[in-house]
Structure formats: C-alpha cells, structure tokens
C-alpha cells in the first residue's frame, strides 16, 4: 500500500461516500454527487471505481474484514466464556471504531444489499456465527432473544445520533456493560488502555 496522491484521493472518496450514504441513503447517492462533493470530475471517480457497487463494497470493507477476523478469533477459543467475552468486547470495539458505517448498516438495507451481491457475500454468515456463539449451543428461546437484543441493540445504540456526542471510552464502557448484563457475563473492570 503506497501513500501517494492516488491513495489519498481514494481515501477521501470513500470517506465522502460514507458521509453521503449516511445523508441520502446508498440508493439516493449518485457517482455525480460524490464527484461534486469532492470537487473532482466524474471521470476522476471512474479512475478509482467503475460502479457505485464497487464504492459501497470498498466503504464497507474495513468493517467486514474486522468482523470476519473477530468471529474467527472468537470461534478459535476453547471455553465458551472466553468466546463470549472476546466476541462481546471485540464487537463493541468494532461498533465504536466504525460508528458511521454501523449507523449506515443499521438504517440502510441498500448497503447490506450491495454487499450481499459482492464477492464478500457472507455478512449473513458472520451474523449467524456471531449469534450462534453468543446464544450458546442448543440455545433456548431466551438465549436466542438475549443474543439478538444484545447484538442489534449494541449496533443500533452505537450508531445512534442520540449518543453521537458521547466519547468513545464512555460509550464503550456502557455498551460492554449492557451486553454483559444481557448475556449473563460477569461485569469486570475493563482496562481502557488495553484498547
């Protein structure tokens, strides 16, 4: 990965696309709008991405890669308690690291649809594995509901404009706390500096 001007434009382009997707929805954002917001020509956008689908994929890619890696790491733990703790802490961390993207995923099926059609394809599978670990083996209804409420509630609250003014550390502590309560995990002092 080189840090030349080409990469800079690409990075700016993806950041701008995410902002426009958030404001207008994926389906309500055109390549022309992205070009206009950056003050570049549509041809300059085409130099980096041929279609809006390619941009959408590239916008979502860092979050999906982190989620993929997290689920793999968690699944490799031996004890269920360690799996759940690692997954919960990692998921909260991911939600905070990718706040704007999570807010978009929580509110716009356009991005989920774009990813489904892409080579990544497997976001639904990550979701299943993640819920499967959190709800445990042979889960009863209560365990399934708790896992679903934890995952969707943490994602929705983490991406909510209502909490946008909260600092990362405070939001992380709150989301971890509510997640542990929902999943029946012991509350513990999280070394904030470890993140």
Q: Which residues bind a second copy (CB under 8 A)?
A: 25, 27, 107-110, 113, 131, 141-142, 144-146, 148-150, 152-154, 156-157, 160, 162-163, 166, 170-171, 174-175, 177-178, 181-182
Nearer to a second copy, 63 or 110 (CB): 110
Contact partners, residue 180, CB within 8 Å, separation at least 6: 88, 186, 187, 188
Instruction: Please give the Cα distance from 128 to 123 (Å, whole number).
Output: 9
**Angstrom distances, CA of residue 118 to CA of 21, 43, 114, 155, 170:** 18, 23, 7, 22, 35
CB 160 → a second copy: shortest distance, Å?
A: 6
Least separation in angstroms between residue 40's CB and a second copy is 27
CB of 116 to a second copy, least distance (A): 12
- 90 and 70 Cβ atoms separated by less than 8 Å: yes
Closest to 121 measured CA to CA, from 76, 66, 64, 74:
64
Whichever of 38 and 156 has its CB closer to a second copy, that residue is 156
Q: In the complex with a second copy, which residue's Cβ is closer, 48 or 113? A: 113
Looking at the Cβ atoms of 5 and 186, the one nearer to a second copy is: 186
Tell the smallest beta-carbon distance from residue 107 to a second copy (Å): 5
Of the pair 2, 141, the CB lying nearest a second copy is at: 141
- What are the b/e assignments for 121-131, b being 16+ CB within 10 Å? eebeebeebbb
CB of 134 to a second copy, least distance (A): 12
Task: State whether the Cα torsion 126-171-111-146 is positive or negative.
Answer: positive
């Amino acid at each position: 990965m080189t840090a030349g001007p080409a990469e800079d434009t690409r990075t700016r382009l993806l950041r701008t696309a995410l902002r426009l997707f958030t404001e207008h929805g994926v389906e309500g954002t055109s390549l022309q709008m992205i070009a206009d917001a950056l003050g570049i020509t549509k041809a300059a956008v085409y130099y980096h991405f041929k279609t809006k689908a390619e941009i959408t994929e590239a916008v979502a890619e860092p979050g999906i890669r982190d989620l993929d890696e997290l689920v793999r790491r968690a699944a490799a733990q031996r004890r269920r308690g360690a799996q759940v703790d690692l997954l919960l802490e990692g998921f909260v961390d991911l939600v905070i690291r990718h706040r704007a993207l999570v807010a978009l995923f929580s509110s716009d099926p356009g991005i989920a649809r774009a990813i489904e059609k892409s080579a990544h394809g497997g976001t639904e599978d990550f979701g299943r594995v993640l819920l499967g670990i959190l709800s445990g083996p042979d889960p009863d209804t209560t365990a399934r509901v708790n896992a679903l409420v934890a995952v969707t509630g943490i994602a929705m609250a983490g991406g909510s404009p209502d909490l946008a003014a909260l600092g990362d550390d405070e939001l992380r502590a709150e989301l971890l706390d509510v997640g542990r309560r929902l999943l029946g995990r012991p509350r513990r002092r999280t070394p904030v500096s470890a993140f």
